Chain A
Amino acid sequence: MVDVAFQQNRVQGVRRAGKRITLRNALKRKSTAAFLMTLPLILLIAILVIYPAFYAIHLATLNKAMTKFVGFGNFQFLFKRDTFWMVVEQSCIFAITAVIFKALIGFIVAHFAHNIPSRKQRKWRGMLLVPWVIPPAMSTLAWLWLFDPSYSAFNYTLGAFGIGPISWLGEAGWARFSVILVNVWFGAPFFMIMYLAALKSVPDQLYEAAAIDGANWWQRIWYVTLPMMRNIIAITTLFSLIVTFANFDITRILTAGGPLDRTHLFATWAFKIGIEGSDIPLGASVSLFMAPILAVAAFFILRDVSKRGNEA
């Protein structure tokens, strides 16, 4: 009797020990540990990103008073409005033009910075990054003064040459130009620093080999630099496209979407409708339109990156 009870105890003990070992093994596994360590961040993202995203989708399906479910009603309403299509067009023009110029200027400036001797280069790199480091809301205020039609430095300088005065923020064309200009000024340093890093990672001997192979300056950029930087260019472009497309502060401060909604982007228009116009469901529907457009761009750009990933 005693023997049996003792044996049962032993069996239970062994079983318990077995369980403990598997739990310890699970904890020892790298993937488990990695998951546990990233869990706080995953939760944070879930709370701060995923919840608002779904809440926005939920909001977009309500009526203005947020009392009734209207399904796709808000979207159908938007499709019928000319302003909506103008905002789509403006957002695309704004984002694409700004990103192209940011990339171009960043690339050129990165080349100059790359050729500066390393001790002076740090100083220049620091100075060139300044526009990107200043909070845009603040620097845009300075630009706002520069664009002032009556008393600004721009019009004063142009006046000395007999040009102007130009109504920088008052005419649709100039207003779009100004908004893009400030965005390029703000964003080009980011491209510069990314391209500079990419340039530094291209081995000098590739350029030397190309020089001996008979490549001139332009051919070296075309056949060596650009192919070696393709992935960085693609990722930087995608990243900047997303940020520029969703830009709010610069347009909001410079033009607030005017004149006559001609500089509105998705974000500023959504703000105008949703917050200023007190139609939060419609504002949410406008802002949701950014997601599918950017998803398509991301798909195409990242597809090429993964295709080329195994080359270098």
Chain B
Amino acid sequence: MAEVNLRKVVKRYDDVEAVRGIDLDIADHEFIVLVGPSGCGKSTTLRMIAGLEDITDGDISIGGDVVNDVPPKDRDIAMVFQNYALYPHMTVAENMSFGLRLKHYPKAEIKSRVTEAARLLDITDLIDRKPKQLSGGQRQRVAMGRAIVRNPKVFLFDEPLSNLDAKLRVQMRIEIKKVHQKVRTTTVYVTHDQVEAMTLADRVVVMNKGRIEQIGAPNELYHNPATRFVAGFIGSPAMNFLPCRLEEAGDKLNVRLTDRLAFPVPPLRAARYKNIPRNEPLVMGIRPEHITEARPHAEPGVEPFDAVLDVTEPMGMETLVYFTLEGAQLCGRVNPNAAARVGAAMRLAVDLNNVHLLNETSGVVLGRP
């Protein structure tokens, strides 16, 4: 087990820069998830750590040793692929033990390691089957078993759950977390699914266009995003964005959406925003759960407003309401009993204690703590 360090790592294909200078320090035992839309460079980064892609520039070190020119087999890593990449002509046991057999481990040790991994993953009964006789979930377990028996310094997962159906994905997600809690191997996990990223990671690395947008614990990313991209990517339904400007109203600070509509900024937030120029165009970001039905005894900072509903989506425990406010399409999450009908006006409330203000052009979230 070991830490992994990336220093100014660049990957260029002819004239396309897939990864544009990434710095990342992964601690020993840590579970890191790289997340981002397709084409953001997350898989390329993982494959560079694995040694399956050459590095154009920068350094990658595993356990303190720079591995830029070390072939994959000598990096002491194990990788789980999206399509499992099991050898179809080998049984489960042969698949799992392949790496150990190539390294000429004693037969008894191979057997004990395979048995142990099979027990851990609950695939003991499948050990003599061929991959074709297994279901998708079972194949993914075997692929993980193949990684575990090697007892490598680092586990690399490349979208391992993308080929599974939704229910199995949730189940395997828990399995992966369980396995990591037991074996504690440093793990780098790539996914485009932000829910997977949030649930699995010790720290999430959000990538976009070959750069790291933000690194942080799942809750930190959710509640304290650094950029508009992170704010919009993490969380489902996505954060609402609408144009606004700050204005002084006596000794208070208002966030003005339009000529007719402005909300007072709560004192705690106002303190953060004291250096932001007034009356300049900004973007306000607010998560759907911070737009709810208006309640009789509102907490400080929760401000009511009226809106006509365009669409409602009953989810059971809550109802998502979509409405247009001054030209912007917004989403709120309300109590199912409180939701009005489509086309009807509804009194909603926005919780300004959780508002984010963003620079209109750069998308940087302003006044972060």
Name the residue in A203, A205, A212, A219 with the highest tally of chain B Cβ atoms < 10 Å from its Cβ.
A212
- Judge whether A215 and B88 touch: CB under 8 Å: no
Q: Tell me whether B87 is interfacial, beta carbon within 8 Å.
A: yes
Digitize B38-74: 1 where CB-to-A-CB distance is under 8 Å, 0 elsewhere. 0000000000001110000000000000000001110
Q: In the assembled complex, how far is the CB of residue A211 from the closest CB belonging to chain B, in whole angstroms? A: 5
- Judge whether A223 and B73 touch: CB under 8 Å: no
- Judge whether A205 and B85 touch: CB under 8 Å: yes
Q: Tell me whether B103 is interfacial, beta carbon within 8 Å.
A: yes
- Judge whether B85 and A206 touch: CB under 8 Å: yes
- Smallest CB gap from B152: residue in A: A212
- Judge whether B83 and A205 touch: CB under 8 Å: yes
Q: A212-B50, A213-B99 are in contact. Are A311 and B89 (CB under 8 A)?
A: yes
Q: In the assembled complex, how far is the CB of residue A224 from the closest CB belonging to chain B, in whole angstroms? A: 7
Q: Tell me whether A45 is interfacial, beta carbon within 8 Å.
A: no
- Judge whether A213 and B102 touch: CB under 8 Å: yes
Q: Tell me whether A216 is interfacial, beta carbon within 8 Å.
A: yes
CB-defined contacts of B87 to chain A, threshold 8 Å: 206, 209-210, 223-224, 227
Chain B residues touching A, range: 20 to 34
Q: In the assembled complex, how far is the CB of residue B233 from the closest CB belonging to chain A, in whole angstroms? A: 27
- Judge whether A203 and B52 touch: CB under 8 Å: no
Digitize B84-114: 1 where CB-to-A-CB distance is under 8 Å, 0 elsewhere. 0111110000000011001100000000000
- Smallest CB gap from B74: residue in A: A214
A283-312 contacts to B, CB under 8 A, are: 308, 310-312
- Smallest CB gap from A219: residue in B: B102
A224–B88 Cα gap in the complex (Å)?
Answer: 9
Q: Tell me whether B77 is interfacial, beta carbon within 8 Å.
A: yes
Digitize A193-216: 1 where CB-to-B-CB distance is under 8 Å, 0 elsewhere. 000000000010110111111111
Q: Tell me whether A228 is interfacial, beta carbon within 8 Å.
A: yes
- What is the total number of residues of chain A having a CB less than 8 Å from a CB of chain B? 22
Given A208-B85, A211-B73, 8 more contacts at CB 8 Å? Answer: A209-B86, A211-B52, A212-B51, A212-B78, A213-B99, A213-B146, A308-B89, A312-B88
Name the residue in A203, A208, A214 with the highest tally of chain B Cβ atoms < 10 Å from its Cβ.
A214
CB-defined contacts of A308 to chain B, threshold 8 Å: 89
Digitize A90-126: 1 where CB-to-B-CB distance is under 8 Å, 0 elsewhere. 0000000000000000000000000000000000000
A37–B61 Cα gap in the complex (Å)?
Answer: 65
Q: In the assembled complex, how far is the CB of residue B89 from the closest CB belonging to chain A, in whole angstroms? A: 4
- Judge whether A228 and B88 touch: CB under 8 Å: yes
Q: Tell me whether B20 is interfacial, beta carbon within 8 Å.
A: no
Contact of B81 among A205, A228, A312 (CB under 8 A): A205
Q: Tell me whether B211 is interfacial, beta carbon within 8 Å.
A: no
Q: In the assembled complex, how far is the CB of residue B139 from the closest CB belonging to chain A, in whole angstroms? A: 13
Q: Tell me whether B302 is interfacial, beta carbon within 8 Å.
A: no
Q: Tell me whether B79 is interfacial, beta carbon within 8 Å.
A: yes
Q: Tell me whether B177 is interfacial, beta carbon within 8 Å.
A: no
A212–B102 Cα gap in the complex (Å)?
Answer: 11
Q: In the assembled complex, how far is the CB of residue B52 from the closest CB belonging to chain A, in whole angstroms? A: 5
A223–B88 Cα gap in the complex (Å)?
Answer: 11
- Judge whether A215 and B73 touch: CB under 8 Å: yes
* Chain B binding surface SS class: loop
Contact of B83 among A203, A216, A310 (CB under 8 A): A203
Q: A228-B88, A311-B89 are in contact. Are A213 and B77 (CB under 8 A)?
A: no
B303-347 contacts to A, CB under 8 A, are: none
Q: A211-B52, A214-B102 are in contact. Are A311 and B130 (CB under 8 A)?
A: yes
- Smallest CB gap from B81: residue in A: A205
The 7 closest A-B pairs by CB, nearest first: A213-B99, A205-B85, A209-B85, A214-B73, A227-B89, A214-B102, A211-B72
Residues of A within 8 A of B (CB): 203, 205-206, 208-216, 219, 223-224, 227-228, 230, 308, 310-312
Contact of A216 among B73, B85, B150 (CB under 8 A): B73
A278–B146 Cα gap in the complex (Å)?
Answer: 69
> Could you pull out 6 A-B pairs where Cβ atoms are within 8 angstroms?
A208-B72, A209-B86, A209-B87, A212-B50, A312-B88, A312-B89
Q: In the assembled complex, how far is the CB of residue A209 from the closest CB belonging to chain B, in whole angstroms? A: 4
Q: In the assembled complex, how far is the CB of residue B109 from the closest CB belonging to chain A, in whole angstroms? A: 15
A208–B130 Cα gap in the complex (Å)?
Answer: 20
Q: In the assembled complex, how far is the CB of residue B94 from the closest CB belonging to chain A, in whole angstroms? A: 10
Name the residue in A210, A211, A213, A214 with the highest tally of chain B Cβ atoms < 10 Å from its Cβ.
A213
A228–B99 Cα gap in the complex (Å)?
Answer: 18
A209–B52 Cα gap in the complex (Å)?
Answer: 10
Q: Tell me whether B132 is interfacial, beta carbon within 8 Å.
A: yes
- Smallest CB gap from A202: residue in B: B88
CB-defined contacts of A228 to chain B, threshold 8 Å: 88-89
- Smallest CB gap from A209: residue in B: B85
- Judge whether A311 and B88 touch: CB under 8 Å: yes
- Judge whether A223 and B98 touch: CB under 8 Å: yes
A206–B86 Cα gap in the complex (Å)?
Answer: 7
- Judge whether B89 and A215 touch: CB under 8 Å: no
Q: A311-B89, A312-B132 are in contact. Are A213 and B98 (CB under 8 A)?
A: yes
CB-defined contacts of A311 to chain B, threshold 8 Å: 88-89, 130, 132
- Judge whether A203 and B102 touch: CB under 8 Å: no
A199–B368 Cα gap in the complex (Å)?
Answer: 54
